């Protein structure tokens, strides 16, 4: 199998028009032409590392602070899941656990695997890696569900001095995790997965 780059072609990042790799600008839209996104792996790994560092405070710090009759209660994401399970709200607890804990963790693992696969000398199965990238890019936005819930509650549950809901430090950290993982997925160039496979295929 031969890639477009191996055949001397480059695809525009803006309009997806193929052009000769020797040209500096796209023939269709005039955008700067790059055979591959510059420093794609470095930026993806840096953004992924930043997201991994924010993942710890996002789960350890309280995401919501509730004040009722002078009594303040702090809830972490896991603590909220436990409370929902104790209250019998299993579907809601499952949604929060999957969207707020498992999806961000899985996305970080997927980005690390994609970067590792792109740097390997022996080509990994490219179709599987490409499918993994598409899934990672698609599900990223759904992990903002906790931040949305807190934002809605802060806006709605402000009953004078009786009850107040405020966002905790984890809300900002969690939003940072989601934004950084989304940027990391955008920075990763999936064509890197096929480059080594194309070179290996050309030798066979």
Q: For 66-79, what is each residue's pLDDT tens digit?
A: 776 667 777 788 88
Question: Hey, what CATH class is 39-203 in?
Answer: mainly alpha
Nearest to 191 by CA among 18, 46, 35, 12: 35
Q: What is the pTM of this model?
A: 0.71
What pLDDT is stored for residue 147 in this prediction? 62
What pLDDT is stored for residue 84 in this prediction? 76
CB atoms within 10 A of CB 76: 17
What pLDDT is stored for residue 2 in this prediction? 58
Q: Examine the pLDDT at 53 and tell me if it is beyond 60.
A: yes
């Amino acid at each position: 199998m031969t890639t477009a780059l191996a055949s001397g072609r480059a695809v525009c990042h803006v309009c997806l028009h193929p052009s000769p790799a020797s040209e500096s600008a796209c023939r269709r839209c005039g955008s700067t032409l790059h055979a591959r996104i510059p420093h794609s792996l470095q930026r993806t790994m840096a953004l992924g590392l930043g997201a991994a560092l924010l993942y710890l405070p996002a789960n350890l710090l309280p995401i919501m602070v509730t004040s009722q009759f002078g009594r303040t209660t702090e809830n972490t994401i896991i603590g909220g899941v436990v409370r929902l399970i104790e209250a019998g709200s299993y579907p809601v607890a499952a949604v929060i656990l999957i969207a707020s804990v498992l999806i961000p963790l899985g996305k970080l693992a997927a980005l690390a695997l994609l970067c590792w696969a792109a740097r390997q000398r022996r080509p990994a199965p490219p179709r599987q890696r490409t499918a993994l990238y598409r899934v990672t890019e698609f599900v990223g936005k759904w992990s903002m569900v906790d931040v949305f819930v807190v934002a809605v509650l802060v806006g709605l549950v402000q009953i004078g001095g009786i009850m107040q809901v405020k966002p905790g430090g984890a809300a900002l950290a969690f939003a940072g995790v989601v934004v950084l993982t989304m940027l990391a997925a955008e920075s990763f160039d999936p064509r890197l997965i096929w480059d080594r496979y194309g070179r290996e295929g050309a030798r066979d």
